[in-house]
Amino acid sequence: ETGVTQSPTHLIKTRGQQVTLRCSSQSGHNTVSWYQQALGQGPQFIFQYYREEENGRGNFPPRFSGLQFPNYSSELNVNALELDDSALYLCASSLWTSSYEQYFGPGTRLTVT
Amino acid sequence: KNEVEQSPQNLTAQEGEFITINCSYSVGISALHWLQQHPGGGIVSLFMLSSGKKKHGRLIATINIQEKHSSLHITASHPRDSAVYICAVRSPETSGSRLTFGEGTQLTVNP
């Protein structure tokens, strides 16, 4: 059983650019959640996807968008990057039930200059 | 005020000491998670609990639903326990597996 993987590991972008981050879910998991973790802070919920549809969104602007594919892998897209978008982006996969564990990927460290 | 508050923010201990990290929350929950994050960034789930107490090795997690409070205890602490420990809750009012996190407690265990 493979774990949750994310790519790339690190990324440097310029303000105004667009970025796509990728996450492969743990085998059998149908729900993916994305979190943003600024330095020294706890993770903040961005959104989650279940069966290829966004189902739940945190306090993030529309320039944060995502996709979930039939194999349950997922992408996080951020347009018009701002300096404050610099953070560790974590994805977590799970089953669609409140009683199930979440499994986190290693994260993508995004730096916006 | 954050929905999930942890204390202390930073904790330094000597090897072998008993450690307690506290988490208080202000919302109704369906589950509470204790997570460990090492400097590389990856997060490992330690416990998920909705009542009572769980134990795994030297780690013990307790929760008091009435008081909206949970504690994570580490017995016989070791330098390899040095990490950030994060409390996170799942609300029954939100769908799926969305978590709300505390700010984390940075634990340093010195040899």
Print pLDDT tens along chain A (113 aa): 468 999 999 999 999 999 999 999 888 888 899 999 999 899 999 999 988 999 889 999 999 999 999 988 999 999 999 999 999 999 999 887 656 788 899 999 999 99
How close does chain A come to B107, measured CA to CA in Å? 13
pLDDT at B1: 66
How close does chain B come to A18, measured CA to CA in Å? 23
The C-alpha atoms of residue A54 and residue B111 are separated, in whole angstroms, by: 47
**Does A109 touch chain B if contact means CB atoms closer than 8 Å?**
yes
**A72 DSSP assignment:** S
pLDDT tens sequence across B50-81 = 999 999 999 999 999 999 999 999 999 999 99
Q: Which is nearest to A31 in space by CA: A58, A5, A51, A45?
A: A51
Identify the residue with better confidence: A108 or B2: A108
Within a 10 A sphere around the Cβ of A10, how many other Cβ atoms? Answer: 10
The C-alpha atoms of residue B54 and residue B24 are separated, in whole angstroms, by: 18
